[in-house]
């Protein structure tokens, strides 16, 4: 998975370097500026930004310490359409496509934590354009078949111990 991570990182780094600088804003109080560009969404469509509907994705969410609550910050401050990740939150299937979406979400949130999106209006950003799971129909491989039945209780236990930091 390292080549894939390298590819995603290179694409994101290119985006971060090539992104235009934000034009200086007029003198407006900061709270009004944030309110004017915030993306309003129903948080229940994303399971309250608490967990996924699929147990194995929750397991990966927990062991990788993905802070999905940061999506709310991206929506309110950077005007990012977080509903682009709605399918990931609502999926019931554990397949390669789900892993690719989780990887994209995790990388995107890491870039946000590094401050790469500070001062940028992300309303025009569409992260669903690159769909690598369609290559040779690899996205439909059900990964649940590769999980041994004797480890399922362990996965369920770890998935049930989600630490959500709001």
What pLDDT digit, counting tens, does each position of 67-89 carry? 888 888 888 889 988 888 888 88
Other C-beta atoms closer than 10 Å to the C-beta of 71 total: 23
Distance CA 27, CA 49 (A): 33
Distance CA 113, CA 67 (A): 10
The answer to whether residues 52 and 91 touch, using CB atoms and an 8 Å cutoff, is yes
The answer to whether residues 112 and 73 touch, using CB atoms and an 8 Å cutoff, is yes
Q: Which two tokens stand for residue 22?
A: 């934000």
Q: Which two tokens stand for residue 87?
A: 């399918």
Whether residue 38 is predicted with pLDDT greater than 70 in this model: the reply is no
Q: Domain ranges for the chain, please list them.
A: 28-160
CA angle 154, 64, 39 (to 5 degrees): 120
Whether residue 28 is predicted with pLDDT greater than 50 in this model: the reply is no
pTM: 0.63
């Amino acid at each position: 998975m390292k080549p894939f991570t390298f590819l995603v990182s290179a694409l994101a780094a290119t985006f971060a370097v090539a992104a235009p600088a934000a034009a200086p804003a007029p003198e407006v109080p900061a709270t009004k500026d944030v309110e004017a560009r915030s993306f309003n969404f129903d948080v229940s469509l994303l399971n309250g930004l608490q967990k996924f509907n699929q147990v194995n994705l929750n397991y990966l969410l927990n062991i990788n310490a993905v802070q999905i609550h940061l999506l709310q910050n991206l929506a309110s401050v950077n005007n990012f359409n977080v509903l682009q990740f709605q399918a990931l939150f609502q999926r019931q299937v554990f397949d390669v496509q789900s892993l690719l979406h989780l990887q994209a979400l995790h990388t995107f949130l890491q870039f946000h934590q590094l401050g790469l999106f500070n001062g940028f209006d992300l309303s025009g950003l569409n992260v669903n354009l690159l769909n690598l799971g369609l290559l040779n129909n690899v996205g439909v491989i059900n990964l649940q078949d590769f999980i041994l039945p004797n480890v399922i209780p362990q996965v369920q236990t770890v998935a049930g111990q989600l630490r959500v930091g709001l």
